[in-house]
């Protein structure tokens, strides 16, 4: 049994089938324990909380909701008032943009496990100068076309720790083997970056290396998945992403 326990609560009006929820959570459990944990050394036990009951003390939360409480976001992870990690998945917003809530859930779950307090970064000192990269494990490869299915359920691709190690010249950098070098962003992906040289604050860098300090184009995956980087470093995949 894993040390981390995660309670999944369905409060969405568009995800009405308990069988669907159970199927998705079973796929997420398999992804975490079979695919993610051997690479990252982090495992978790997921359970669906019956309607009308509350998560147990000390359990992390993964909540399925309808509409985003952050403009345009498909999902994000945060910390509750009690100091426990929480991942939010906005199933109705996902459906509006033709996205699978299961992929959003996988994205937020993995990133919550990697950086539960949303405060980790990696420093890269290169010819471009020193930069801090947000320690987000799915943003670089978040587009659903790079995901994969487990028992018919679409889940998100995720990067390996090696993705953050700029000195590496070869190796595997993401689970689906789509990324060929450290810090590479696939089409539809992005990452939060802080330029240490000028202290201009957090920006989001996209696959075409465009820097954004303001909202991305309305309706884009990056815009739909992200939360303002100046507020907190969270998953955009949710900025649609």
Cβ-based neighbour number of residue 19 at 10 Å? 7
Specify the pLDDT at position 118: 82
Residues 112/85, Cβ–Cβ less than 8 Å: yes
Specify the pLDDT at position 197: 82
Specify the pLDDT at position 128: 64
Specify the pLDDT at position 74: 54
- Kindly give the confidence (pLDDT) of every residue in the chain, 241 residues in length, as a single tens digit, with 9 standing for 90 and above: 899 999 999 999 999 999 999 999 999 999 999 999 999 999 999 999 988 888 898 999 999 998 765 444 455 666 667 788 888 898 998 898 899 999 999 999 999 999 988 889 999 987 567 889 999 999 999 999 999 999 999 999 999 999 999 999 999 999 999 999 999 999 999 998 888 888 777 888 888 765 544 344 434 334 444 444 334 333 333 344 3
DSSP string, 116-144: TTS--EEEEEETTEEEEEE--SSGGG-SG
Bridging pattern class, strands 60-65 and 4-10: parallel
Specify the pLDDT at position 72: 46
Specify the pLDDT at position 234: 37
Specify the pLDDT at position 97: 86
Nearest alpha-carbon partner for 156 in 114, 205, 206, 193: 114
Residues 229/222, Cβ–Cβ less than 8 Å: no
Q: What is the pTM of this model?
A: 0.85
Bridging pattern class, strands 148-150 and 129-134: unpaired
Specify the pLDDT at position 67: 77
Specify the pLDDT at position 216: 46
Residues 75/239, Cβ–Cβ less than 8 Å: no
Domain positions in the chain: 4-225
């Amino acid at each position: 049994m894993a040390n981390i326990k995660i309670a999944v609560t369905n409060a969405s009006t568009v995800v009405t089938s308990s069988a669907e929820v159970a199927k998705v959570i079973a796929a997420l459990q398999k992804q975490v324990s079979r695919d993610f944990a051997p690479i990252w050394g982090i495992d978790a036990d997921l359970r669906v909380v019956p309607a009308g009951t509350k998560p147990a003390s000390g359990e992390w939360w993964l909540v399925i909701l309808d509409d985003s409480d952050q403009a345009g976001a498909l999902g994000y992870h945060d910390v509750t008032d009690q100091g426990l990690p929480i991942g939010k998945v906005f199933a109705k917003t996902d459906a509006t943009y033709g996205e699978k809530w299961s992929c959003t859930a996988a994205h937020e779950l993995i990133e919550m496990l990697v950086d539960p307090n949303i405060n980790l970064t990696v420093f890269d000192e290169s010819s471009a100068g020193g930069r801090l990269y947000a320690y987000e494990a799915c943003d670089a490869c978040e587009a659903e076309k790079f995901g994969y299915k487990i028992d018919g359920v679409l889940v998100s691709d995720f990067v390996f720790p090696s993705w953050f190690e700029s000195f590496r010249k070869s190796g595997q950098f993401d689970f689906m083997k789509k990324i060929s070098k450290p810090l590479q962003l696939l089409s539809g992906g992005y990452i939060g970056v802080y330029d240490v040289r000028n202290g201009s604050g957090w920006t989001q860098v996209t696959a075409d290396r465009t820097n954004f300090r303001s909202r991305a184009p309305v309706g884009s995956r990056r815009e739909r998945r992200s939360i303002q980087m100046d507020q907190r470093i969270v998953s955009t995949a949710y900025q649609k992403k």
